[in-house]
Every structure is written in structure tokens, then in C-alpha cells.
């Protein structure tokens, strides 16, 4: 996908977010019930936190292309444009008749539209590129608080109470759908598709900034024997344990992935050449010491690092292939070791 649709989608997400801030601020200003006034004010504040994410994303939009994140980008754009129109209709309805019921319906529709998978998918994809700004966790709390408020005050009208429960169900379903698309269900790491989307962007960014990066390919040694001896449920425990060890060893900015089966991959943006062997050894030792439920586990690691001389999707995949080549050298040397090009 070209960068233009991504730019437009991010811009639309930002506009929806800005409009929600304005509307929650108006509800706060007009509310006569003190408890609800506090809630509307809090909702506006939380949307302001999310606005920082979209502002940063829009500032950096020229850096992002995400060729595979949306199957139908034009359709996503159209739906977001429709969201803005529907919000305005409901806001005008509330302006005409400022009742509690209309305020709750207006707020419900805003939150409903912001449950569109486009938002959650961009949260997931942009998080590694936007530094410490991550709206996913705060949005979880935001939605939970909103639904509790909606159900509490919606009890005056049975239909409103039902809408609150429906919103909660939709929120959980949409998050599950995005996770299926980009997150490995067993380990909680990116799956291959999610990793390739995000890591390609970081690879391109490192090329433009001429920052040293590294890619580790990691394989659990003799994993088939683990499954054969202890059973597949124990094998799953081993996979989750290795993922946990990897998470503890790396930085917040590093991108982890279960690449398939017992293979993992990590991309390290902006890492010093001298730190690569040290990081690889730290990861290897952590896994060896972990012994989940007493099961001995070791890993082999292949590490490719350096400056990117030429940026392309093919070159990115060639880096992964090179790390994989070093991985197989590590396995041929007896496993439980690291091979790198430092």
C-alpha cells in the first residue's frame, strides 16, 4: 500500500479523537449532575492522552507505509469518514435536546465508532514506532470506566443498559480479532504477519537514520524431543517460558516475534555493535537457567547486525535469511550457542 492512504487513515483517526475531546468537554460544561460531570471530564482527559499518540503518528506519517496492515485501505478510510458524519448528527441532536438519554447515546456512539478495528490495529502496529506512547492500556481502562458509567446511568432506560452491555461485548470481540491478525495467541508476542509489518517499518527507519540494527533468529534446541518426552501441553509451557525470558532480556523498543513453531525472531533498533554478542549471550543464559517445570531448555541464536546500505522489502527479508543462516551454523556447532557477524 502507498503511504498516502496510511497518511489519510491516521489523519482521520486523529480527527475522530479530536472531535471526541471537544464533545466530552461540552458534555462536561453542560452537565448538571456532579458525578456525571466528573465522568465527562475524565473521559475528555483520557481522550487527550490518546491524542498524543495520534499527533505523534501524524507527525511521523512520512516514515510509515505498512504495506500489509489493511486489506482494503480505501474501505477503512470510507468507514472513518462515515464515523465523523454520524457523530456530528448525534451531537446536533443533543444540542437540540440536552437530555441525559441523548448525552448517553451520543457518548455511546462515539465509543462504539472508536471500537473500529482500524484504531486497535494502528495502536498495535504503531506502538514500537511511537516510543513510550501506547494508548492500548489506557484505552482498556477508558472503555471499562465508560461501560460501568453507561450501565449505571442507563438503568433509567432498559434499552440503554442493553447498549452498554453490547458495547462491552463488541470491545472484547474487536480486540480478539486484532490479536488474531497480529499477535501469537500462545506467547503474546507478535506473530509472523504482525512482526513483518512492524519490523519492516523499523528497518526502513534505521536506514534513513543510519542507525545500527540487529536481527536475532532463535530456535529451541531439540524441541521435538521435549514434546515427545513431556507431551504437547508441556511443550506449550516451554514456549511460553522462552517468550517470557526473551521479554525480560530485551528493551521496550525491541520487537519480539514467535516466527513459527519453536522459532523466535527479535529486531533490535539502534543497538551498538559491541552490545550484540552480549545481548545474545544474556538471552541464551536466561533461557538455560529458566527450566520451566524442571524441563531443561536451551536455545541456539543466529545474529545479523550492521548498518543498512540499501532499503527494500527484499533486503529486509535477506537480513532475516542471513540471521537464519547463522542460526543453522550455531546448531551445527552443537547447539546452545550463538553465531553472529560482529
Report which of 136, 131, 134 is spatially closest to residue 205, judged by C-alpha positions: 131
Identify the H or E element spanning 67.
none
Which of these is catalytic: 201, 262, 281, 325?
262
Residue 66, φ and ψ in degrees, nearest 5: 45, 70
Helix, strand or coil, per DSSP, at residue 50: helix
Cα gap 229→288, rounded to integer Å:
18
Which residues, including other chains, have CB under 8 Å from residue 260's CB and lie 6 or more apart? Answer: 192
The verdict on whether 30 is a catalytic residue reads no
Report which of 307, 299, 300 is spatially closest to residue 342, judged by C-alpha positions: 307
Q: Where are the alpha helices (DSSP H) in the chain?
A: 3-30, 34-59, 73-96, 100-113, 117-126, 135-154, 158-182, 192-209, 223-230, 232-249, 275-290, 313-332
Helix, strand or coil, per DSSP, at residue 339: strand
Confirm if 179 and 185 have CB atoms less than 8 A apart: yes
CA dihedral 50, 56, 57, 59 (to 10 degrees): 140
Strands 299-306 and 338-340 turn out to be: parallel
Cα gap 331→284, rounded to integer Å:
13
- Residues forming the active site: 262
Amino acid at each position: 500500500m502507498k503511504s498516502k492512504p496510511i497518511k489519510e487513515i491516521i489523519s482521520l483517526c486523529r480527527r475522530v479523537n479530536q472531535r471526541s475531546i471537544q464533545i466530552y468537554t461540552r458534555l462536561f460544561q453542560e452537565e448538571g449532575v456532579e458525578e456525571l460531570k466528573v465522568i465527562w471530564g475524565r473521559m475528555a482527559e483520557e481522550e487527550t492522552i490518546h491524542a498524543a499518540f495520534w499527533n505523534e503518528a501524524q507527525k511521523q506519517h512520512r516514515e510509515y507505509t505498512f504495506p500489509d496492515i489493511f486489506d482494503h485501505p480505501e474501505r477503512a478510510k470510507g468507514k472513518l469518514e462515515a464515523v465523523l458524519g454520524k457523530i456530528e448528527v448525534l451531537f446536533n441532536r443533543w444540542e437540540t435536546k440536552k437530555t441525559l438519554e441523548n448525552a448517553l447515546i451520543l457518548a455511546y456512539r462515539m465509543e462504539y465508532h472508536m471500537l473500529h478495528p482500524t484504531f486497535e490495529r494502528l495502536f498495535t502496529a504503531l506502538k514500537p514506532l511511537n516510543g513510550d506512547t501506547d494508548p492500548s492500556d489506557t484505552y482498556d481502562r477508558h472503555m471499562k470506566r465508560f461501560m460501568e458509567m453507561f450501565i449505571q446511568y442507563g438503568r433509567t432506560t432498559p434499552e440503554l443498559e442493553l447498549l452498554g452491555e453490547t458495547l462491552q461485548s463488541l470491545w472484547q470481540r474487536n480486540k480478539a480479532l486484532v490479536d488474531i491478525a497480529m499477535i501469537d495467541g500462545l506467547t503474546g508476542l507478535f506473530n509472523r504477519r504482525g512482526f513483518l509489518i512492524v519490523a519492516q517499518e523499523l528497518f526502513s527507519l534505521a536506514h534513513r537514520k543510519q542507525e545500527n540494527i540487529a536481527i536475532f533468529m532463535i530456535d529451541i534446541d531439540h524441541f521435538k524431543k521435549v514434546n515427545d518426552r513431556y507431551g504437547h501441553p508441556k511443550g506449550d509451557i516451554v514456549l511460553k517460558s522462552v517468550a517470557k525470558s526473551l521479554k525480560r532480556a530485551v528493551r521496550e523498543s525491541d520487537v519480539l516475534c514467535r516466527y513459527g513453531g519453536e522459532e523466535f525472531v527479535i529486531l533490535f533498533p539502534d543497538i551498538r555493535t559491541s552490545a550484540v554478542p552480549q545481548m545474545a549471550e544474556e538471552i541464551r543464559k536466561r533461557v538455560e537457567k529458566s527450566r520451566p517445570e524442571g524441563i531443561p531448555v536451551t536455545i541456539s541464536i543466529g545474529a545479523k547486525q550492521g548498518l543498512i546500505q540499501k532499503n527494500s522489502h527484499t533486503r529486509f527479508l535477506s537480513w532475516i535469511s542471513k540471521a537464519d543462516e547463522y542460526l543453522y551454523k550455531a546448531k551445527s556447532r552443537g547447539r546452545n550457542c550463538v553465531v553472529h557477524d560482529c
